[in-house]
Structure 1
Amino acid sequence: MTRSIILSAALLAASVTFAHSHDEKALLQSPPGEPYVQVSDVLPLPEFIPGLGTLFVAPDKLPAGPFLSYDHEGKLSATVYMTPLEELKNGTSYDNLAIGNHTVSSVDIYYNAGHPGVDKPHAHIVLYHDAEAKGRLAE
């Protein structure tokens, strides 16, 4: 488990370094537009998930994401990756993951046993885009 978290952290560092370029301004406010879809519209999940917010993902980027996380006001607050532990353990790497915003104030990495959309155990890697983001997503 510890090895998987360390591997996930290394993956995160690589993804921030080699993130795809995109128009960040287009993603700052919900909805982000194509190719992103609102997760709650396609999976049996609530529109706002406490701790993660309102999530959008490009379906072809599953399972890792990025998932764009918006607060109740529609402000981009975090970029979330969901990396299956089994795949990491078996050597799968997720390279050149995009990020919603190049400003990152803090990062959380934690275990999740699985949920609709990413049913296998995985790591949530959450890049918060400002100092207040975590608090706004918790409500």
Structure 2
Amino acid sequence: MIKQFFLISSLVLASATLANAHDEETLRQSPPGDPYVQVSDVLPLPEFIPGLGTLFVDPETLPAGPFLAYDHDGKLSATIYMTPLEDLQGGIAYDSLGIGSHEVSSVDIYYNAGHPGVEKPHAHVVLFHDADAKRRLAQ
């Protein structure tokens, strides 16, 4: 009985791991597909924002995101979170946020006064997914 339990548990864990790997793989190239929408299609923002790239977000996860950032070649380069300072100061926690890729080479955190989509002052938390991502998004 215990042996069957461990076998079933192992199979469930393995299938969940494969599903996560598959999901990450589908996000590597733009467009990421449902439920993500291209931010510039729904907000008055440019298609490519220097420093952030071409952004996609699941509207259900706003305001924090994750926003998936793609370079000019459509390669996933960063995952971005936009957390309103007022919410953080009020004690709101953003837990278990999704990521575009498990590989993270560096992280930037900086202040933003607000923009269409996240109008309140907020922090940008940017997870870069490879050593060259920051350069590619800057162009």
Q: Which residue of 2 aligns with 1:115?
A: 115
Give % identity. 77
Q: Deviations over 1:9-60 (max 9, x none)?
A: xxxxxxxxxxxx4610000000000000000000000000000000000000
1:98 aligns with 2:98: yes
Q: Which residue of 1 aligns with 2:68?
A: 68
Aligned residues: 119
Q: Which residue of 1 aligns with 2:5?
A: none
State the shift of 1:129 in Å: 0.1
Q: Deviations over 1:86-117 (max 9, x none)?
A: 00000000010000000000000000000000
- Structure holding more helix per residue: 2
Q: Which residue of 2 aligns with 1:5?
A: none
Task: Name the amino acid aligned to 2:106.
Answer: S
CA distance in 2, matches of 1:94, 1:115: 20
TM-score, normalised relative to structure 2: 0.85
Tell me: higher relative CO, structure 1 or 2? Use CA pairs within 8 A at least 6 residues apart.
1
Task: Name the amino acid aligned to 2:104.
Answer: V
Q: Which residue of 1 aligns with 2:57?
A: 57
Task: Name the amino acid aligned to 1:64.
Answer: A
Q: Which residue of 2 aligns with 1:86?
A: 86
CA distance in 2, matches of 1:57, 1:45: 13
Task: Name the amino acid aligned to 2:78.
Answer: A
Greater C-alpha Rg: 2
1:47 aligns with 2:41: no
State the shift of 1:120 in Å: 0.3
TM-score, normalised relative to structure 1: 0.85
RMSD: 0.7
State the shift of 1:137 in Å: 0.1
State the shift of 1:69 in Å: 0.1
Task: Name the amino acid aligned to 1:56.
Answer: F
Name segments (4+ residues, structure 1) moved above 2 Å: none
Task: Name the amino acid aligned to 1:34.
Answer: D
Question: What are the ranges of 5 or more consecutive residues in structure 2 without an aligned counterpart?
Answer: 1-19
